Amino acid sequence: MKQYKQPVSVLVVIHTRDLQVLLLERAAHAGYWQSVTGSQEEGEPLLTTAVREVGEETGIRVLAEGLVDWQLSNRYEIFAEWRHRYAPGILHNTEHVFSLLLPAAQPVTLAVEEHLRYCWLPWREAAGKCFSWSNRDAILMLPERMPER
């Protein structure tokens, strides 16, 4: 029996205190830049999904306590070309937003089957480079979501 993806995912915006944001370029779609994203696995808490995806996509090892759950979710239509990954009739995904503050921009280890390149950009530039509206909007909210300096 085919294993379908859950229509629930995480978006993890990785950034520094001076609002440099990490973006990853999708392997399947050159020119499509995004933050860390990934689908929740069966029975997995969202925070665990976020920790797992950060590790898988960047090689950054983080404890759950290092992530901030924004208590924000976005519902969007799944691109037609990716719907085959979901059970028949599933057209929408619910994405939960998290962030990870790092002390400085750092090299990352990409999952080569998922991403081609990475870059660190100032937050406004990073927002403009994202193909996803929800990712763009999350990055634009970063200044108001930053912990006290």
Residue 1: inside a domain, yes or no?
no
Query: Which pTM value belongs to this model?
Result: 0.94
Residue 74: inside a domain, yes or no?
yes
Determine the structural domain holding residue 33 and report its residue range. Answer: 8-145
Q: Is 114 annotated as a binding residue?
A: yes
Q: Is 37 annotated as a binding residue?
A: yes
Write the CA distances from 1 to 4, 5, 39, 81, 82, integer angstroms.
Answer: 9, 13, 19, 21, 19
Residue 135: inside a domain, yes or no?
yes
Residue 3: inside a domain, yes or no?
no
pLDDT number for residue 1: 67
pLDDT number for residue 32: 95
Rounded mean pLDDT for each run of 10 residues along the chain, 149 residues in total: 89 97 94 96 96 97 95 94 91 97 96 95 98 97 82
CB 58 within 8 A of CB 110: yes
pLDDT number for residue 82: 84
Domains of the chain: total? 1
Residue 19: inside a domain, yes or no?
yes
pLDDT number for residue 77: 92
CATH at 91: 3.90.79.10
pLDDT number for residue 17: 96
Q: Is 117 annotated as a binding residue?
A: no
Q: Is 2 annotated as a binding residue?
A: no
